[in-house]
Amino acid sequence: MDERLQNILNCGLKAARQAGASVSDALDAAGDKAGRLVTAGQLNCRIAELNAQVRAGLQRIGEMIYATHTGDPTSSDDLLVALRDIDRLNEQIRCLQAQVNQLLERSACPKCGAAAQPEDLYCRECGAKL
């Protein structure tokens, strides 16, 4: 094989290797992003479950307060336990939301953990200054 043909083949082989490496890098990045999206989706499902528990807890508290209003007083200890349960659930939601924001590389409100847009000066959820 003459030297000129060998140089052409070597250049083609080098270009093919570089293209293969670029495709491999792109696939790795896509796989990483897909994995982060799946994890974020799972965390969002858990957040939805916790939000449903918060709503149920708030309904129970409302029923306790209404029962007190109608003459069937609720123990303040029972009410305090229900309120603390909601506080615990809300803290779990904030932690999970922070994880989602980190996975998706979004900025978040330091107070409530809600996602924030780059142009936001105040949180769209709680109104805290960003």
Q: What is the pLDDT of residues 97-130, one digit of tens each?
A: 989 988 988 888 888 878 888 888 999 888 999 8
pLDDT in tens, 37-81: 999 999 999 999 999 999 999 999 999 999 999 999 999 999 999
Number of domains in the chain: 1
Single-letter residue type at 71: G
Contact in structure between 7 and 15 (CB atoms under 8 Å): no
Query: Is 64 inside any structural domain?
Result: yes
Query: Is 15 inside any structural domain?
Result: yes
Query: Is 96 inside any structural domain?
Result: yes
DSSP assignments along 62-127, one per residue: HHHHHHHHTT-PPPHHHHHHHHHHHHHHHHHHHHHHHHHHHHTT-EE-TTT--EE-TT-SB-TTT-
- How sure is the predictor about 1, in pLDDT bands with cuts at 50, 70 and 90? low
Alpha-carbon Rg for the chain in angstroms: 27
Residue 16 lies in domain = 3-105
Q: Check pLDDT > 80 for residue 13.
A: yes
- At residue 86, the pLDDT reads 98
pLDDT in tens, 18-40: 888 888 888 888 888 899 999 99
Single-letter residue type at 29: A
Paired residues of 3 in beta bridges: none
